[in-house]
Structure formats: structure tokens, C-alpha cells
Chains A and B, each alone.
Chain A
Amino acid sequence: MSAPLHPDEAASALAEIRDQQGRLIEAVLVPAWYWWIVAAGMVAIGAAADTRDPAVLAVVIPAAVVVIAALTAGMIFGAYRHAQVRSSALLGGRGALAIVAFVWLVVGLTLGIGFALRAAGAGLPATTATAAGSAALVIGGPLLMRGLRKIMLGNRSGAAR
């Protein structure tokens, strides 16, 4: 290969490539407030379940589910409305595994604590369990995003090798 290009120009071009790809990656990451809203919805569901009041259950649970589902759908379709990131190539197996592990962690933690408290006869088992799951979401969600950002930035073209 022969290219009359100065190394500084090549480095600058590589930096430009990384910047452009980094901007696209940033655009698809979930903001921190998303985790807080989903967490609030989860706690609302847990608290409603503990009331065992049919009227509360009939109102709170569908409302919370609709809010969480609408927000999640908005996040996904909002991110993919103008561009679709090559998530399979950028995330790779490690990124996909991190997402699946995080979901299982939150679900497992919530259900595990809930069933354990219920078996022990503790008060407000669903509220406590969903609060614990929500804490995992609020703390772990941004950490997951940070990890996915790192993985995707590492897998983009022109990344350090």
C-alpha cells in the first residue's frame, strides 16, 4: 500500500472516524431517568399487590404496566427512528450476555426476595421485593449502559488495537 499521507493526518482521520461512530452509539444508549421511571413503576406494582385490594390492583397494575411498556417502546422506536445502530456487530456476544445477565439479575432478585419474604410471613413482601429490584435497576442500569458503551466503542471501526 502506498499512501502519501502524514501519520498525523492518518491519526486525525482515525479520530474523526471514532468520533462519528461514538456519536451514533451515544444516541442509542438509555438515559439514567429511564431506570428511575421503570423502578417507580415496579414499586407501584409491588405496593398495589400488597394491598390485595381489587380496586387498587385493577387501576395501579395496568397503569404501571402501560407506563413502563410505553416508555420502553418509546426508547426503542425513538432510538431507531432516524438511524439503526449495528448493534449485533458492535455489542457482540459479551454485550448481549451483559444485557441478559442484568435482566435475570433484576427478575431473580425481585422474585427471590418476594417469595422468601412471603414464605417467612414478613409484611409487605411484594413492596420490599420490588423496591430491592428497583434499587438494582437504578444502580445497575446506568452501570450496564456504561459497560455497553465501552464494549461498543471498543468494537467500532478504528478502535485501538
Chain B
Amino acid sequence: MSPARFDELIHAPTRLAIVSLLAAAEWADFKFIRDELGLSDSALSKQLATLEEAGYLEIRKAFVGKRPRTSARLSKAGRAAFELHVAALQEIVERSGASVLRR
């Protein structure tokens, strides 16, 4: 059986969406995450800060020309925590006898 650990920090709906998106990416732009998830700047900043404080996220600020650009990526710890969380969710579903349907 694969290791699994339910992670309360990741499981909060907005953070789950952010981490899920970032799990498929090497990195993503602040604007891209905001627009994909339909969040306000302040809501996204708050969630990113929470994930960064937990060590799950690395935030990079750079300039493209004269324009500031913020991007985020999952840290190694964040990626590991996310995979364990996914495994925990899958275990819950499988224990109930339901199947994890591909969509």
C-alpha cells in the first residue's frame, strides 16, 4: 500500500485548487493562477503566503522588462505532501468500495 497522509492545510478548497494546478506545473504565473481559479489578487496572495509559510511553495519575484512578475512553484516538500494527500483521498474512496473514476 502506498504511503498516505491527509493534509488539512492542502485540503482547504482554494488551497487544494492552487496546489493541484501547481502539481502539474514546473511553475505558474501569479496572474495565470488567479485567472484560472477566478480569485482576487488579495485572496490568492493570502493563500500563497499560507502555503509558503508551510514550506509547500516557493514564490519568485522577477522583472520582465520593467514589469514585475510573480510566479509560484511547489517545493519538494509541497509536492511530496500533495502526493501523500492524494493517496489519502484515494484510500478513503477505495475503502468505501467506490472507484476513482477517470474524467
Assess the B93–A10 pair: CB atoms within 8 A: yes
Asked if B21 contacts A23 (CB within 8 A), the reply is: yes
Task: Evaluate contact between A83 and B95: CB separation under 8 angstroms.
Answer: no
Known interface pairs A11-B93, A13-B16. Does A161 touch B100 (Cβ–Cβ under 8 Å)?
A: yes
**Contact (Cβ within 8 A) A156 B24:** yes
With A1-B5, A20-B17 known to touch, is A25 a contact of B92 (CB < 8 Å)?
no
List, in ascending order, chain A residues with CB within 8 A of B83's CB. 157
Asked if A121 is an interface residue, CB under 8 A from chain B, the answer is no
Q: Is B49 an interface residue (CB 8 A)?
A: no
Chain B residues numbered 18-75 whose CB sits less than 8 Å from any CB in chain A: 20-21, 23-29, 31-32, 36
Q: Which residues of B contact A19 (CB under 8 A)?
A: 20, 103
Which A residue sits closest to B64, measured CB to CB? A81
Contact check, B86 vs A17: say whether CB atoms are below 8 A apart: yes
Number of contacting residues on B, CB 8 A? Answer: 36
CB <8 Å contact, A160 and B102: yes
User: Are B24 and A24 within 8 A (Cβ)?
Assistant: yes
Interface residue stretch chosen among A29-37, A84-92, A130-138, A140-148: A84-92
Chain B residue numbers with a CB within 8 Å of A84 are: 25-28
Q: Which of B16, B82, B93 contacts A16 (CB 8 A)?
A: B16
The interface on chain A, measured as residues whose beta carbon lies within 8 A of the other chain's beta carbons, has a size of: 35
Distance (whole angstroms) from the CB of B76 to the closest CB of chain A = 13
With a CB–CB cut-off of 8 A, which chain B residues contact A23?
Answer: 21, 36
B82 close to A157 (CB less than 8 A): yes
Looking at A5, A19, A24, the one whose CB has the most chain B CB atoms below 10 A away is A24
Query: What CA separation (Å) do A51 and B19 show in the bound complex?
Result: 56
Known contacts A1-B4, A1-B88, A14-B89; A83 and B25 CB within 8 A of each other:
yes
Known: A1-B91, A20-B24, A23-B21. Contact between A158 and B100, CB under 8 A? yes
Does the CB pair B21–A15 fall under 8 Å?
no
Q: Are A83 and B28 in contact (CB under 8 A)?
A: yes
Which residues, 43 to 71 on A, are CB-close (under 8 Å) to B? none
| B contact set with A: CB distance below 8 Å | 4-6, 11, 13, 16-17, 20-21, 23-29, 31-32, 36, 82-83, 86, 88-93, 95-96, 98-103
